[in-house]
Structure 1
Amino acid sequence: MAANRAAAVSHVGKIRSNNQDSGYAGRGLFVVADGMGGHAGGDVASAIAVNRIREADREYESAGEAEFALQSALIAANSLLAETVFEHPELTGMGTTVSAMIRVGDQLALAHIGDSRIYLYRDGELKQVSTDHTFVQRLVDSGRITEEEAMVHPRRSVLMRVLGDVDASPEIDTWILDTKPGDRWLICSDGLSGVVKHDDLKAALASKEGPRQVAERLLKQSLDAGAPDNVTAVILDIADVAAGDVVKEPVTVGSAAAPLQFGSEPRPATRASRLPTLRLHPIRPATGPTHFEPQSEDYLDELIEEDERRARRRRLTWMIGLALLVIAIVAAGFIGYQWTQSRYFVGESPAGKVAVFQGVQQDLGPIPLSHVYEESTVRVDSLPAYDKQLVQQTINADDLASARAIVDQLSDAGGK
């Protein structure tokens, strides 16, 4: 049987005050959980989930058996989170994503909920094999927005499915995939996938370095890019022969690697009294949420409608701005034209006579900025050579009276 070469890393990032991610690389089980609920419980949620799910790290007769065990472990973790919230109300609203897989021979059983991701690098190609359970992914799937627009959408962090005190029976994606020697699997939180570009992920996973070196390289890339969120990555290599980084003892990273801490004494309660009221708890964390999960499909419709309203407002704002810009340009043009019409100069009329022009000598493209205001009876050809040249080049005047005085002087010089 092929050997497991794996590694797990986790970092708080450069913005967060605590690490709400948890990761686990075991003998056959590999998990990443990204907690939500702000400082009040994101770390607790991911730690509880991973600590419960890693109980499924054992040998299985088949991938189907492992798939069932994974699904059962996630549902059990969900119930445990709900019970924890009931006993510690200050944690209301906490939840966590989970992406996990169990290797059984040449197959992997996978389970996924939320927006952490599972990637497969095989034969020079990198593919995301999990589907984000996010609001924007729903928009992408329905054709409302593109993948590129989803990357910068203001609601890209809104989760539609998580483990937590939201649903007693959360919908969990589970499936089985074949794997082969040379495959490299990556499970990561969105602190990595949302920061490091796809091509950079691919380049790192294509490296001949071991899982530990690759995981640390991806972590460094995220930190170099600012790491606004916690960063966790678990890498599994499928190899015929073990060559370093072999998982001999399970490795736990992130919040699950530390003892759980709660802010208050638990209230006395029983599991039976908690489960019937799962859906009644509001999804409002005690302090600043990192994610938000709607409770029903009705809320999804509301979010879509709100998104469409925002798009309409953006279009209206853009149109109003454009209209104001056009009005400003027209107004400036009108004021400028009015100013030109307060100027006068003396020049040669189309009839070859000395004339007073209103406006300025320049034209604005095809638009003339001057016209003959008064035409004298003096022909330009009758003027002395010097005066003739001045008129043909135009003579500026301070005002209409000054222009008329210039014409009178030229009339005396050139005769009738």
Structure 2
Amino acid sequence: MPESLGYAAQSITGCVRTHNEDALLCAPDLGLWAVADGMGGHQRGEVASAVAVAALRDAVAAGQRLESAVQSAHGAVVAAAAGSGMGTTLVAVKFDGAAFDLAWAGDSRAYRVGIDGITRLSHDHSLVQALVDAGELSPAQARRHPRRNVVTQCLGQMHQDLEVGCVTGTLAPGELLLLCSDGLTGELDDGEILDQCASAETLEALVAQLLNMACDAGGRDNITCIVLALNAPETIVAASRSNSFLSRLLKSRRS
């Protein structure tokens, strides 16, 4: 892990559900981070997400590229499911210095945040996203659609060739990379996420603020997020450095 890459991460049950089917992976020794959102109900969803992130880590540690590692994780969840119907979404990033590979399946998301605003790097594998792409729904309508939680790709589905979304990029100093489950994006829109980035003083504070705001908005699902930034200590960005980025971001938002 490069010394200049810092992160903070947290996963919570939310305000309605009684158990957490999300899982997160922080493996700085591999330059690897991931969020998985399990499906299938109590125990099955928890198992699916846990199996996925463990298999992903093992595959990357064995030298597999990220997309191949996601496929290996899919196979591991299929084997663990044994026809039970459990599955999980996954969004993962692998860093090599400032350069990164991003891969996902389902509707867990990745965002880049900088002084120019917030950019969604992933593209949901979901029913409502397909309808938006076809021009049948607006993004605002998609957020309220009764079937907005239906995903079209996930790890663990038998007899399905998993479609893995992939992008590459480079994270610049003064930018953040955010990985999250739909428990966050189901409660907060992109602008609200950006506003929290502009007000937080540290990466840990940013994660806490995002989770608290999602809970205040209802917290109807499990909520998980990871934020990463360059020019930061190993676990948490120093307040002086964070303020350097966030003050510029806030100034850009107000101008």
Q: Describe the SS at the equivalent of 2:169.
A: strand
Give the one of 35, 38, 45 matched to 2:48.
Answer: 45
What is the aligned-residue RMSD (CA, Å)?
2.0
Contact 1:7/1:215 (<8 A) preserved:
yes
1:54–1:4 CA distance, 2 compared to 1 (3 A): same
| Alpha-carbon distance in 2 for matches of 1:191, 1:168 | 25
2:253 maps to: none
Q: 1:124-143 alignment to 2 at 5 Å?
A: 124-143=116-135
| Alpha-carbon distance in 2 for matches of 1:132, 1:96 | 14
| Alpha-carbon distance in 1 for matches of 2:62, 2:79 | 29
1:76 maps to: 72
Contact 2:3/2:234 (<8 A) preserved:
no
2:233 maps to: 242
Contact 1:204/1:214 (<8 A) preserved:
yes
Larger RCO (CA within 8 A; separation ≥ 6): 2
The residue type equivalent to 1:166 in the other structure is: M
Give the one of 30, 33, 38 matched to 1:30.
Answer: 33
| Alpha-carbon distance in 1 for matches of 2:109, 2:226 | 11
| Alpha-carbon distance in 2 for matches of 1:46, 1:59 | 20
| Alpha-carbon distance in 2 for matches of 1:218, 1:59 | 34
Q: Quote the offset at 1:197 in angstroms.
A: 2.8
Aligned residues with identical type, % of pairs? 36
2:9 maps to: 8
| Alpha-carbon distance in 1 for matches of 2:62, 2:144 | 42
| Alpha-carbon distance in 2 for matches of 1:203, 1:163 | 32
Q: Which runs of 5+ in 1 are unaligned?
A: 61-67, 247-416
Contact 1:29/1:56 (<8 A) preserved:
no
Contact 1:121/1:206 (<8 A) preserved:
no
| Alpha-carbon distance in 1 for matches of 2:158, 2:128 | 20
2:199 maps to: 207
Q: Describe the SS at the equivalent of 1:38.
A: coil
1:208–1:231 CA distance, 2 compared to 1 (3 A): closer
Give the TM-score of the pair, scaled to structure 1: 0.54
Give the one of 184, 188, 198 matched to 2:190.
Answer: 198
The residue type equivalent to 2:21 in the other structure is: Q
2:58 maps to: 55
Q: 1:7-406 alignment to 2 at 5 Å?
A: 7-27=8-28, 28-56=31-59, 69-86=65-82, 92-207=84-199, 209-239=201-231, 242=233, 245=236
Q: Quote the offset at 1:244 in angstroms.
A: 5.8
Q: Describe the SS at the equivalent of 1:200.
A: helix
| Alpha-carbon distance in 2 for matches of 1:108, 1:14 | 33
The residue type equivalent to 2:6 in the other structure is: R
| Alpha-carbon distance in 1 for matches of 2:168, 2:118 | 18
| Alpha-carbon distance in 2 for matches of 1:243, 1:41 | 33
Q: Describe the SS at the equivalent of 1:99.
A: strand
Give the TM-score of the pair, scaled to structure 2: 0.86
| Alpha-carbon distance in 2 for matches of 1:167, 1:128 | 30
1:160–1:72 CA distance, 2 compared to 1 (3 A): same
Contact 2:60/2:69 (<8 A) preserved:
no
The structure in which a higher percent of residues are helix is 1
Q: Which runs of 5+ in 2 are unaligned?
A: 238-255
Q: Quote the offset at 1:131 in angstroms.
A: 0.4
1:123–1:59 CA distance, 2 compared to 1 (3 A): farther
Q: Residues 73-93 of structure 1, C-alpha deviation per residue, up to 9 Å, x if partnerless? A: 11111111111122xx5xx11
| Alpha-carbon distance in 1 for matches of 2:230, 2:62 | 17
Contact 2:10/2:207 (<8 A) preserved:
yes
| Alpha-carbon distance in 1 for matches of 2:109, 2:126 | 12
Q: Residues 175-229 of structure 1, C-alpha deviation per residue, up to 9 Å, x if partnerless? A: 2112211110110000001102322200112235221110011111111122010
Q: Describe the SS at the equivalent of 1:80.
A: helix
Contact 1:189/1:233 (<8 A) preserved:
yes
| Alpha-carbon distance in 2 for matches of 1:242, 1:59 | 27
The residue type equivalent to 2:153 in the other structure is: R
Question: Which protein has the larger Cα radius of gyration, Structure 1 or Structure 2?
Answer: 1
Q: Residues 246-300 of structure 1, C-alpha deviation per residue, up to 9 Å, x if partnerless? A: 7xxxxxxxxxxxxxxxxxxxxxxxxxxxxxxxxxxxxxxxxxxxxxxxxxxxxxx
